Amino acid sequence: MRKAKKTDEEIIHQNPWWTYKHDKFERIDGTYGDYFYAETKNSAMVVPVLDDGRVILIRQYRYLQDKESLEFPCGQLREDEAPSEGAKRELLEETGYKVQDLIKIGNFDGFKGFVKDETHLYLGTDLKQIDEPHPEESEDIEVIYRRVDELEQMVIDGKIWDGQTLAAWALVRDHLHKITSG
């Protein structure tokens, strides 16, 4: 497959969470174009499963949609942080749980057309609550617990609408069903 070739890159805006960029590129037919996009430091997400088979989710308010969202613990990676370490850190910060067994499920890009942001997905088992959640200043988080069948119904009913969480669930659900069914 032939690809476009980047000829120039410009940073339009940068903040602690993402960078807004403008690329100039040569198309495969020899003409030139512009591409505008955001780029992040990537993220790590954990689907945490308790010994009794319940899954831990977080409920938080999402400003852009002006409503609450039910999500798996997830957050942006820090500079030079390994994805597995970022997953452990985010789980502890958002839920107060420490994970002993972290299984890499895969990676996905949730916003492929306008954001360069890879999510590293993990399944977390052998959990121990060691603290209360300590979310970032901008987050208001409530930890909730659901059985797999309840979570599935929440997806069907549209109560879980976050794209990263839906993508993660599609990737992890078969692994989770194996764990919870013995």
Query: Residue 38 corresponds to which tokens in the numbers above?
Result: 């955001």
The rounded Cα 35 to chain-centroid distance in angstroms is 24
Query: Residue 73 corresponds to which tokens in the numbers above?
Result: 């613990």
The answer to whether the CB of 171 falls within 8 A of the CB of 163 is no
Question: What pLDDT is stored for residue 25 in this prediction?
Answer: 94
Alpha helices in the chain (DSSP H): 83-95, 148-156, 163-180
Q: What is the mean pLDDT of residues 68-75?
A: 96
pLDDT at 154 over 60: yes
Please state, in angstroms and rounded to a whole number, the distance separating the CA atoms of residues 116 and 42: 8
Q: What is the mean pLDDT of residues 141-147?
A: 95
| pLDDT confidence tier of residue 160, bands split at 50, 70 and 90 | very high
Question: What pLDDT is stored for residue 71 in this prediction?
Answer: 97
Element (H, E) at 108: strand 97-109
How is residue 81 annotated by DSSP? -
pTM comes to 0.90
HSE-CB of 32 using CA atoms within 13 angstroms: 6
Element (H, E) at 107: strand 97-109
Q: Which fold has domain 42-102+118-180?
A: Nucleoside Triphosphate Pyrophosphohydrolase (3.90.79)
The answer to whether the CB of 163 falls within 8 A of the CB of 143 is no
Name all contacts of 128-131 with Cβ < 8 Å and 24+ positions apart.
Answer: 128/97, 128/98, 128/100, 129/95, 129/96, 129/97, 129/98, 130/92, 130/96, 130/97, 130/98, 131/92, 131/96
Q: What is the mean pLDDT of the chain?
A: 92
- Angle, alpha carbons 134-151-159 (nearest 5°): 80
Residues of the chain with CATH 3.90.79.10: 42-102+118-180
Question: What pLDDT is stored for residue 52 in this prediction?
Answer: 94
Alpha helices in 72-143 (DSSP H): 83-95
Alpha-carbon distances of 166 from 29, 66, 97, 127, 144, rounded to whole Å: 37, 19, 22, 22, 17
